[in-house]
């Protein structure tokens, strides 16, 4: 990243301009936080007998703070994995706004951000975080969560949970792109009205804080990012993050 990269520069500049044009304000997260179990990701280290994390996941940090109504923020920062691989993540969060409205606003901004970069060929798969646990119960869901993630139908069938639950899970995993009876998703799809949005109950987000809408964005060759809705204190937030290095690779090819 120390060498000049015109594509990465265009991506970051383009994202910043788009987020700014929608009235979002840039925040500058601290690189180091005192260790907390509530934070996702981040590189742990010890200094002067105290535990810290370098660059933990931003959303997991926001969840612990207080925000006023209609908070619109974005960030562009270097994310480090535990193996010290680095990527620049751009994220946007809409906090303390009615959940339905924020889902639609966030998806519209996401689409506009990619289009402003000249990227039109992408898809956004949407689902809801409790699409399985809401029907089969949390305990059963925990038992088969890994199998759902891998679409391991054999393991799901042999998991020992009730047959009607197995049938439901398999039906859902096979229903990508078809109409399913989930009002939230159907409403979002018709409100945003974009063919690139696809309902896929098999959509996976790895952070546990999601509650409600979840989505992932991808092009022909890459996963570009993802996001969703989450509970924050007594209200809710909705946001997404984009992998700028992946976007720069896509721009390079256009």
Partner 1 sequence: MIITIPKGKLMDESIKAFENAGFDLSISESRKLRIKNGDNEIIIARAMDVPFYVESYADLGICGTDVIKERNCDVMMPLQLKFGKCRLSLCAPKKYKLKDLNGKKIATKYPNLTSKFFKSHGIDVKIVHLSGSIELAPVMGMADAIVDIVQTGETIRENGLIELKKVMDVSAALIVNRLSYKLKFDEIRRIMDNMEVFNYEYE
Q: What residue ranges bind partner 1 (CB under 8 A)?
A: 123, 125, 150-154, 174, 176-177, 200, 218, 220-223
Q: How far is the CB of 250 from partner 1 (least distance, A)?
A: 13
Q: 188: which DSSP letter?
A: H
HSE value, Cβ hemisphere, 13 Å, CA-based, for 47 = 10
- β-bridge pairing 235-243 and 86-95: antiparallel
Q: How far is the CB of 151 from partner 1 (least distance, A)?
A: 4
Q: How far is the CB of 200 from partner 1 (least distance, A)?
A: 7
Contact criterion met (CB below 8 Å) for 29 and 89: no
Residue number with CB closer to partner 1 (137 or 202)? 202
Residue number with CB closer to partner 1 (60 or 219)? 219
CA distance 55 to 101: 30
CA distance 43 to 4: 26
Of the candidates 193, 203, 205, 199, the one whose C-alpha atom is nearest the C-alpha of residue 230 is: 205
Residue number with CB closer to partner 1 (108 or 157)? 157
Residue number with CB closer to partner 1 (204 or 251)? 204
Q: How far is the CB of 145 from partner 1 (least distance, A)?
A: 14
């Amino acid at each position: 990243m120390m060498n000049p990269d015109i594509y990465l520069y265009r991506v970051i500049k383009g994202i910043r301009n788009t987020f700014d044009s929608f009235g979002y304000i840039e925040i500058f997260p601290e690189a180091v936080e005192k260790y907390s179990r509530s934070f996702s990701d981040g590189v742990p280290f010890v200094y002067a007998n105290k535990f810290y994390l370098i660059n933990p996941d931003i959303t997991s940090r926001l969840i612990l703070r207080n925000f006023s109504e209609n908070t619109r923020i974005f960030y562009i920062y270097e994310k480090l994995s535990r193996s010290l691989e680095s990527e620049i993540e751009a994220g946007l969060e809409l906090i303390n706004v009615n959940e339905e409205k924020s889902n639609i606003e966030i998806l519209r901004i996401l689409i506009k951000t990619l289009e402003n970069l000249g990227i039109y060929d992408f898809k956004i798969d949407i689902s809801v975080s409790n699409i399985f646990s809401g029907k089969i119960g949390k305990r059963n869901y925990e038992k088969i969560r890994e199998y759902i993630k891998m679409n391991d139908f054999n393991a799901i069938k042999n998991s020992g949970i009730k047959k009607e639950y197995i049938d439901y899970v398999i039906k859902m995993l096979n229903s990508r792109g078809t109409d399913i009876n989930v009002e939230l998703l159907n409403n979002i799809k018709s409100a945003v009205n974009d063919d690139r949005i696809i309902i896929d109950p098999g959509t996976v987000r790895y952070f546990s804080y999601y509650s409600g809408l979840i989505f992932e964005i991808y092009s022909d060759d890459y996963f570009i990012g993802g996001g969703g809705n989450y509970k924050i204190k007594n209200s809710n937030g909705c946001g997404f993050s984009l992998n700028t290095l992946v976007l720069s690779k896509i721009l390079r090819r256009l």
